[in-house]
A and B are shown apart, each in its own frame.
Chain A
Amino acid sequence: MAYSNKVIDHYNHPRNVGSLDKSDPNVGTGMVGAPECGDVMKLQVKVNPETGVIEDAKFKTFGCGSAIASSSLATEWLRGKTVDEALAIKNTDIVTELSLPPVKIHCSVLAEDAIKAAITDYKKKANPIPAEAARV
């Protein structure tokens, strides 16, 4: 399979590889996929609670080159966006940017899922459901 130059560039020089402190209340962690399916993405965002802006984003991915590139690109796009802007990122944007072939579209879907999972996790931490309300 031929890879686009952008996929190769992200594979050779992945952006923002690493991990943020899961226990930090301002960090949201999303982990999607499964080892037996051949791809797992961990994507983390660190949000400024005052401004709602994502100040840092990190990823680690087990998966093919397109999965690595999709998550690497996602972290680039996330930095500087507000949480709401981040939620507007669509997998099709990633497909277009990386010129992913049809068989690799699931990689972009996984990256979108990872973004949503990370932000959901952050929101849960920022606005914990009060014990009283949860009981209803």
Chain B
Amino acid sequence: MKLPIYMDNHATTPVDPRVFEAMRPYLTNVFGNSASRNHSFGWEAEEAVEKARKQVASLIGATSKEIVFTSGATESDNLALKGVAEMYAEKGNHIITAATEHKAILDTCKRLEKHGTRVTYLPVQQNGLVDLDQLRGVITDKTVLISIMHANNEIGVLQPIREIGRIARERGVLLHTDGTQAVGKVPVNVLDDNIDLMSISAHKMYGPKGVGALYVRRRNPRVQLTAQMDGGGHERGMRSGTLNVPGIVGLGEACALAQAEMPAESKRLAFLRDKLKERLLNSLDEVYINGTLEHRLPNNLNISFAYVEGESLLMGINEIAVSSGSACTSATLEPSYVLKALGAGDDLAHSSIRFGLGRFNTEEEVDYVAGKVIEVVKKLRELSPLYEMFKEGIDLTKVQWTAH
């Protein structure tokens, strides 16, 4: 076993060597522009792009013409929300999303609000899931789009997308879902799940950074978008710009591998995740799992070690790459808004660690990580005045703190 151990696969994943091999020719000899229609260099590139388009479509139950290549999920989210808001402005100006969405959705919504769009940010329940009755209640005749993520990037919970899709369909509203964390990890089918638009990222599923896709439904209903990037009219006019051929080939190969290996790999990851969880829960008291375990990515564990601050825990396990919802680890110095939205209290957000298991993690690594985390949590609790007070039976919620 080699240190450091990478267990932050919701942030990014390494490129699978098989993906790299598929990309290699397109980074070297096969360099054509896929839009060059009159020579073999262009034809070769186009052929590779179309193969990748089929691979992406196949993974999600779509047809290749419904795949628009982009620079990644952030661009896909922007294109979906802004493109729909602009295209359907005459029909309505209301978008529904959720408080726990990725910033690529929330900040895009904030931008749209400045231009007259009305946005409803649904709260989530303590298990991290959207309440479907609440969703039904906020749809109006002005609603044009619901954007709810498939799997959450921090707590890994899977929203009831199929039911949300059904509600959207009944009310004649489009459904966009940010599929960044879900696609390639759990089965996603745009037809069964009534998805009209879906953002996809390559680097979360062992593909390269800087490439992604937006699924745009072509039938029942045919979704139209106003392009947000003007230029040569690539990607059926929805996203201009010379195609990132090697990146797209990598995304396609990553999708094909994910599709072939998902049944076995998701079982393996769930086994490792559950082993990690059991060891932590059995060896430590006052440990809380954030978000439902029932509807969750197989590779995610988000857990709060009460009375221990997240950044100090990361410092103690510095040969293990994971992330924390602690304010001290964020650029904004605010604790995770996702964990806050669960209503568990800011203190548990400060104490949270996100483990993101991946294709290249081994059982030996999981054993090492569990042991190390247990050791450091125990050490930091010896240092923690809060743990001492808890042990003395003091109710910390009743203490008069000097907030600063």
What's the tally of chain A residues with a CB closer than 8 Å to chain B?
31
Do B402 and A34 have beta carbons less than 8 Å apart? yes
Residue of B nearest to A42 (CB): B385
B76 within 8 A of A: no
**Which of B315, B385, B402 makes the CB contact (< 8 A) with A3?**
B315
Kindly state the separation between the CA atoms of A33 and B400 in the bound complex, as whole angstroms: 10
- Which residues of chain B have C-beta atoms less than 8 A from A39's C-beta? 309
Q: How far is the CB of A12 from chain B (nearest CB, A)?
A: 9
Stretch in contact with the other chain, from B12-20, B234-242, B345-353? B345-353
Do B308 and A62 have beta carbons less than 8 Å apart? yes
Do B383 and A64 have beta carbons less than 8 Å apart? no
Q: How far is the CB of B381 from chain A (nearest CB, A)?
A: 9
- Which residues of chain A have C-beta atoms less than 8 A from B404's C-beta? 32-34, 37, 106, 109-110, 113
A25 within 8 A of B: no
For the A-B complex, the count of residue pairs with Cβ-Cβ distances under 8 Å equals 87
Do A17 and B383 have beta carbons less than 8 Å apart? yes
Q: How far is the CB of B40 from chain A (nearest CB, A)?
A: 51
Do B311 and A64 have beta carbons less than 8 Å apart? yes
Max chain B CB contacts within 10 Å: which of A63, A67, A68?
A63
Do A32 and B402 have beta carbons less than 8 Å apart? yes
- Which residues of chain A have C-beta atoms less than 8 A from B333's C-beta? 103
- Which residues of chain A have C-beta atoms less than 8 A from B350's C-beta? 35-36, 38
B residues 325-356 touching A (CB-CB < 8 Å): 326-328, 333, 335, 345-347, 350
The 0/1 profile, CB within 8 Å of A marked 1, for residues 307-332 of chain B is 11101100110000000001110000
A94 within 8 A of B: no
B382 within 8 A of A: yes
The secondary-structure label for the interface of chain B is: helix
Do A64 and B328 have beta carbons less than 8 Å apart? yes
A14 within 8 A of B: yes
Do A35 and B347 have beta carbons less than 8 Å apart? yes
Do B383 and A14 have beta carbons less than 8 Å apart? yes
**Which of A8, A36, A41 makes the CB contact (< 8 A) with B403?**
A36
Do B401 and A33 have beta carbons less than 8 Å apart? yes
Do B386 and A11 have beta carbons less than 8 Å apart? no
Q: How far is the CB of B87 from chain A (nearest CB, A)?
A: 42
Do A34 and B383 have beta carbons less than 8 Å apart? no
**Which of A38, A60, A103 makes the CB contact (< 8 A) with B384?**
A60
Kindly state the separation between the CA atoms of A64 and B387 in the bound complex, as whole angstroms: 15
Residue of A nearest to B328 (CB): A64
Kindly state the separation between the CA atoms of A40 and B328 in the bound complex, as whole angstroms: 14
B residues 343-385 touching A (CB-CB < 8 Å): 345-347, 350, 382-385
A92 within 8 A of B: no
- Which residues of chain B have C-beta atoms less than 8 A from A106's C-beta? 404
Kindly state the separation between the CA atoms of A11 and B311 in the bound complex, as whole angstroms: 12
Do A61 and B385 have beta carbons less than 8 Å apart? yes
- Which residues of chain A have C-beta atoms less than 8 A from B396's C-beta? 35
Kindly state the separation between the CA atoms of A39 and B308 in the bound complex, as whole angstroms: 10
A4 within 8 A of B: no
- Which residues of chain A have C-beta atoms less than 8 A from B47's C-beta? none
Known interface pairs A32-B402, A36-B403; A61-B384 also in contact (CB < 8 Å): yes
Closest 10 CB pairs of A and B: A34-B401, A36-B346, A42-B385, A35-B347, A60-B385, A64-B311, A38-B350, A64-B328, A65-B315, A34-B403
7 contacts between A and B (CB under 8 A): A19-B388, A31-B385, A35-B396, A38-B346, A42-B385, A60-B385, A62-B387
Given contacts A39-B309, A64-B315, 19 further A-B contacts (CB under 8 A): A8-B315, A31-B385, A31-B402, A33-B404, A34-B403, A35-B401, A36-B346, A36-B350, A36-B401, A37-B403, A38-B346, A40-B386, A60-B384, A61-B384, A62-B387, A64-B311, A64-B326, A106-B404, A109-B404
Interface residues of B (CB under 8 A from A): 307-309, 311-312, 315-316, 326-328, 333, 335, 345-347, 350, 382-388, 396, 401-404
